[in-house]
């Protein structure tokens, strides 16, 4: 592990790091690029020719595609070599997830199997369970599913009613209950099922073989999108589960579920990047072919604006996703050197970055929704036709704001988790907030003479951090323990935190790129950063004012608003010309090559 500064989860709110301390996608090595190319080749040869067929709910075809990907080794990227995988780094796992993300329904089935279908057993299973099951899951010999959600439980996973009781002879748990919205249910050979033993308050987890007597799988649900993904209800009627198939220890299920959700969230952040780049490519290629008024629509300023916005949002989400991926990798290495096995090191490192996982899940899924919506609009009437790929992309995108915990839950988690980490002593959030508040009347924009381009951008972002500190201090003092019930204010703060993380990751990425390529090689990236930070300032200001007017008395509000006006001030940007330059590169390349 190279010597670099690594921040704890949420610590970016009060600490700055240098560009040399972050990882950027331009640093992928040759092996990582080859793995991504293998994933891309698989999509081109096996997935894209079959999208329409699997969307007609052909379970057997989807199953055969998954097994082929397993034979190529794609399912074992995150599984250690001793269990039949390739044991790749977390950054590599994220790159593979991104590439596969362009695979429509296939990507959902693939990610469910190789992520939540495999890794609970890899991370929490005994050596015997790993040898028996993970070795076969890693190669696609058997396919996995993850069974948590129940009717009526929604986002409150621990309220499920599925129950397990020890048999009289002590050899089995007798499982009864119902699960719903289970991805891969129709063809999975193995299920990780969450249930409460006896009258336990918290869940336990079990490994259940799908062909066990009493397991009843319903027909597939009819869904808005991801139609090729098998999603069904599963019923458990006196299913005998061998006691050795208890995953982890009794009562550990809720922790397992939360840990796997952290992993799922962060992997989804990468997954949607692939879908977004595919949609942008479809957008620009159509715009470069379609004529209106005898000219290509790609020459119109309005279309260029749309294309540029797609690029900016992808670049920003990509910067954030790979920034945290390397942090997770380094923390995994640290935990392993301290004696953790690979499974525990991985899940503890991923779980540690819960703040960033929630940020990237929300930001990235909303990024994709925006991009596919604009892709349909760029296609005009043709975009509404089922003949076009963007119609499928539009429908498939919508689930990502619900998957892995709704965006509403994750938005609240951003603030709640950051504040809890600070209270635990991971970083000094409240002390710095109090210090800043004490000098409220003396707040300045922090501008110095002769600051360079990056100093200016990072100063703006540092000021956004100060705005966040003022809001957290003000809202905490006003509401105290009742703050948890003021979801609108928490949402305002969360928006600011997300903008801070993404803008900072993007700024540091461009700065690092310049150190690699020289100033002439980053002019378009500076255009991206200019527009991104300019727009972020307005979002930060609006969210801050909404929060202040919600919690502050008039006199305090006046003082806070004055500070916000100073801290959110930003130099003007010619966004029209910047976006045109960004779009022109996309149009010339006819695909996303940023």
Hey, which residues are catalytic here? Answer: 404
The DSSP string of 131-182 is IIIIHHHTTTSS-EEEE---TTTTT-GGG---EEEE-TTSSEEEEEEEEEEE
Point out which residues pair with 216 in neighbouring strands. Answer: 235
- pLDDT at 261 (0 to 100): 84
Residue 260 — very low, low, confident or very high, per pLDDT cuts 50/70/90?
confident
| Pair 36, 96: CB distance under 8 Å | yes
> Over the chain, what is the mean pLDDT?
95
Rounded distance between C-alpha atoms, residue 409 and residue 358, angstroms:
9
**Residues 316-359: tens digit of each pLDDT:** 999 999 999 999 999 999 999 999 888 889 989 999 999 999 99
What whole-number distance in Å separates Cα of residue 85 and Cα of residue 78?
7
Q: Please indicate whether the domains covering 11-143 and 146-247 agree at the CATH topology level.
A: no
- Which pLDDT belongs to residue 2? 58
- Give the pLDDT confidence of 527-577 residue by residue, as tens digits: 999 999 999 999 999 999 999 999 999 999 999 999 999 999 999 999 999
- Range 146-247 has CATH code 2.40.110.10: yes
Residue with tokens 């938005």: 411
Q: What is the pLDDT of residue 154?
A: 64
Cα–Cα distance between 316 and 510 in angstroms, integer?
11
State how far the Cα of 531 lies from the Cα of 535, in Å rounded to an integer: 6
- Assess whether pLDDT exceeds 90 at residue 100: yes
Q: What is the mean pLDDT of the segment spanning 240-253?
A: 96
CA distance 164 to 308: 54
pLDDT score of 364: 98
Cα 82 from chain centroid (whole Å): 28
Which architecture does CATH list for 11-143?
Orthogonal Bundle (1.10)
Amino acid 342: pLDDT: 82
Q: What does the pLDDT read at residue 1? A: 45
Lowest mean pLDDT among 140-144, 152-156, 248-252: 152-156
**pLDDT single digits (tens) 493-535:** 999 999 999 999 999 999 999 999 999 999 999 999 999 999 9
Spatial CB neighbours of 97, under 8 Å, sequence gap ≥ 6: 111, 267, 270, 271, 274
The pLDDT of residue 88: 93
Q: For the chain, what are the domain ranges?
A: 11-143, 146-247, 253-409, 428-589
Inter-residue contact 252 to 77 (CB < 8 Å):
no
pLDDT tens string 417-460? 999 999 999 999 999 999 999 999 899 999 998 999 999 999 99
pLDDT recorded at residue 147: 95
* Residue the block writes with tokens 């990468």: 270
Options 1.10.1040.50, 1.20.140.10, 2.120.10.30, 1.10.1060.10; CATH of 428-589: 1.20.140.10
| 253-409 is a CATH 1.20.140.10 domain | yes
CA dihedral (225, 161, 154, 396) in degrees, to 10, reads: -10
- DSSP annotation of 7 reads P
The two tokens of residue 396 are: 């498939």
Task: Express each pLDDT in 267-295 by its tens digit.
Answer: 999 999 999 999 999 999 999 999 888 99
Pairing between strand 231-242 and 190-197? unpaired
Average pLDDT over residues 354-382: 97
Give pLDDT tens digits for 9-48: 999 999 999 999 999 999 999 999 999 999 999 999 999 9
User: In degrees rounded to 5, what are phi and psi of residue 200?
Assistant: -55, 150
pLDDT digits (tens, 9 = 90+) for 379-407: 999 999 999 999 999 999 999 999 888 99
Residue 591 has pLDDT above 70, yes or no: yes
């Amino acid at each position: 592990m190279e010597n670099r500064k690594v921040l704890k989860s949420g610590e970016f709110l009060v600490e700055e790091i240098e560009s040399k301390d972050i990882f950027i996608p331009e640093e992928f090595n040759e092996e990582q690029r080859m793995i991504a190319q293998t994933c891309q080749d698989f999509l081109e040869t096996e997935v894209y020719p079959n999208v329409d067929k699997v969307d007609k709910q052909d379970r057997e075809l989807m199953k055969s595609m998954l097994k082929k990907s397993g034979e190529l080794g794609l399912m074992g990227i995150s599984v250690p070599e001793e269990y039949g995988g390739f044991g790749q780094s977390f950054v590599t796992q994220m790159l593979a997830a991104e590439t596969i993300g362009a695979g429509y329904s296939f990507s959902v089935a693939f990610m469910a199997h190789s992520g939540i279908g495999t890794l609970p057993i890899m991370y929490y299973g005994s050596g015997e369970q790993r040898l028996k099951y993970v070795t076969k899951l890693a190669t696609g010999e058997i396919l996995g599913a993850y069974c948590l959600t129940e009717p009526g439980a929604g986002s409150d996973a621990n309220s499920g009613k599925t129950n397990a009781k020890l048999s009289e002879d002590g050899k089995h748990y007798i499982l009864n209950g119902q699960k719903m919205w289970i991805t891969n249910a129709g063809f999975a050979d193995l299920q990780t099922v969450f249930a409460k033993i006896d009258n336990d308050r918290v869940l336990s987890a079990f490994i259940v073989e799908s062909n066990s007597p009493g397991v009843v799988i319903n027909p597939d649900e009819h869904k808005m999108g991801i139609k090729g993904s098998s999603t069904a209800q599963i019923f458990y009627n006196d299913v005998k589960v061998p006691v050795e198939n208890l995953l982890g220890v009794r009562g550990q299920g809720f922790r397992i579920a939360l840990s796997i959700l952290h992993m799922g969230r962060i992997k989804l952040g990468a997954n949607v990047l692939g879908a977004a780049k595919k949609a942008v490519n479809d957008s620009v290629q159509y715009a470069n072919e379609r004529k209106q008024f005898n000219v290509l629509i790609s020459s119109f300023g309005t279309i260029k604006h749309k294309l540029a916005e797609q690029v900016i949002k992808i670049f920003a989400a990509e910067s954030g996703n790979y920034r945290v991926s390397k942090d997770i990798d380094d923390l995994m290495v640290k935990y392993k050197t301290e004696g953790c096995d690979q499974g525990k090191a991985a899940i503890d490192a991923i779980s540690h970055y819960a703040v960033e996982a929630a940020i990237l899940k929300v930001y990235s899924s909303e990024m994709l929704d925006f991009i596919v919506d604009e892709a349909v609009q760029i296609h005009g009437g043709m975009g509404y036709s089922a003949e076009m790929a963007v119609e499928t992309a539009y429908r498939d995108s919508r689930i990502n704001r619900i998957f892995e915990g709704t965006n509403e839950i994750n938005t609240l988690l951003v603030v709640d988790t950051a504040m809890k980490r600070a209270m635990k002593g991971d970083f000094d959030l409240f002390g710095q907030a109090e210090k800043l508040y004490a000098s409220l009347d003396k707040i300045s924009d922090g501008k110095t003479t002769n600051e360079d381009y990056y100093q200016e951008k990072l100063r703006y972002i540092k000021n956004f951090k100060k705005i966040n500190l003022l809001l957290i201090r003000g809202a905490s003092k006003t509401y105290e323990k009742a703050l948890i019930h003021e979801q609108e204010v928490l949402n305002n703060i969360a928006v600011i935190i997300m903008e801070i993380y993404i803008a900072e990751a993007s700024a540091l990425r461009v700065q690092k790129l310049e150190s690699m390529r020289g100033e002439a090689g980053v002019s378009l990236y500076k255009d991206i950063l200019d527009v991104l930070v300019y727009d972020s300032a307005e979002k930060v200001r609006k969210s801050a004012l909404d929060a202040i007017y919600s919690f502050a008395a008039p006199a305090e509000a006046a003082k806070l608003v004055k500070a916000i006006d100073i801290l959110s001030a930003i130099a003007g940007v010619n966004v029209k010309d910047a976006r045109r330059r960004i779009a022109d590169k996309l149009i010339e390349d006819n695909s996303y090559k940023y």
